[in-house]
Amino acid sequence: MGERLYRCDGIILKRIDVGEADRIVTILTPQGKIIATARGVRKTQSKLSGHLELLSHCQLQLAVGKTRDVLTQSIAVERFAQLQQQLVRMAAGYYVAELTDTLLADEDAAAQVYELCLVALRTLCTSTSVEMALHWYTMQLCDAVGYRPQLVDCAVCGSTLDQHANLWSAVQGGMLCPNCARSDIQATRVSLAVFKVLRLVQRESLSYVIALEVPAEVHATVFVILRRWVMRHSERAIRSAQFLDDVRSQTF
């Protein structure tokens, strides 16, 4: 009986070298994540070489395996070359890939996450607001996989939040009104500007938010808040965050 083959589109999120020439590849598809073996891909004569680069958008053919499917063909549709030409964009791309791999567990959300990831990577190639694009993607990804923070109503009592709300509580699930401040004595005090950015990246389009000018200190606080939010739900840190921070500190 011959191999059972199937085709799909996918974004390469992760690669791990194994043996002398193989790689284990994590692929985001509209149907979910696939972890597949690319046999001999590191050999110079491999037909897959150059078509499975990290963050590339590919058309793939795979063979169903006993323990792990095997990549048999790959054609790169979008290579997102601009991400490789500027260090801060590359670091942002790695961050998007790891964030996606970390948070996406439910295949029901895969189609939405796949489209969000493509939009984010395309935007990172051209936008001058890399940081805002990352805030937006992080928030939209959390929303898609079921980790949406409360930013309109108080996370404790449900009252409508206004400009006096200045406490963020990952424990309680979002922003707190002044009356519920005691519900989390370790809640983070945030400025009105930070609160506004969090709400904007949750409810507005990417094209809208990347056009906004935001102070560096606001970006820094939003990054901290969103990373801690992700870590609370995934129970693991985003390792590429440090690389991104190092690059940002040298660029901006």
Structure confidence by residue, pLDDT tens digits, 170-198: 999 999 999 999 999 999 999 999 999 99
- Residue span(s) of the chain under CATH 2.40.50.140 come to 5-78
Identify the pLDDT of residue 65: 87
State the DSSP code for 158.
-
**Burial classification of residue 15, based on how many CB atoms lie within 10 Å of its CB (0-12 exposed, 13-18 middle, 19 or more buried):** middle
Q: Is the pLDDT of residue 202 over 90?
A: yes
Cβ partners under 8 Å of residue 252, min gap 6: 216
Q: Is the pLDDT of residue 24 over 70?
A: yes
Helices and strands counted in the chain (H then E): 8, 8
CATH assignment of 5-78?
A: 2.40.50.140
Amino acid at 56: S
Contact status, residue 21 vs residue 31, Cβ threshold 8 Å: no
Structure confidence by residue, pLDDT tens digits, 146-172: 999 999 999 999 999 999 999 999 999
Amino acid at 224: V
Identify the pLDDT of residue 1: 41
- Residue span(s) of the chain under CATH 1.20.1440.120 come to 82-251
Identify the pLDDT of residue 66: 86
CB atoms within 10 A of CB 26: 19
* Percent with pLDDT over 70 in the chain: 98
Give the separation between CA 72 and CA 63, rounded to whole angstroms: 7
More confident residue, 65 or 121: 121
Q: Is the pLDDT of residue 227 over 80?
A: yes
Identify the pLDDT of residue 252: 61
Identify the pLDDT of residue 3: 66
Identify the pLDDT of residue 44: 76
Structure confidence by residue, pLDDT tens digits, 56-89: 999 999 999 888 999 999 999 999 999 999 999 9
pTM over 0.85: yes
Contact status, residue 181 vs residue 187, Cβ threshold 8 Å: yes
Q: Is the pLDDT of residue 121 over 80?
A: yes
Structure confidence by residue, pLDDT tens digits, 90-110: 999 999 999 999 999 878 899
* Percent with pLDDT over 90 in the chain: 88
Q: Is the pLDDT of residue 51 over 90?
A: no
Contact status, residue 113 vs residue 119, Cβ threshold 8 Å: no
Q: Is the pLDDT of residue 2 over 80?
A: no
Contact status, residue 40 vs residue 22, Cβ threshold 8 Å: yes
Q: Is the pLDDT of residue 29 over 90?
A: yes
Identify the pLDDT of residue 63: 94
Contact status, residue 117 vs residue 99, Cβ threshold 8 Å: no
CATH assignment of 82-251?
A: 1.20.1440.120
The pLDDT mean for the chain works out to: 94
State the DSSP code for 163.
T
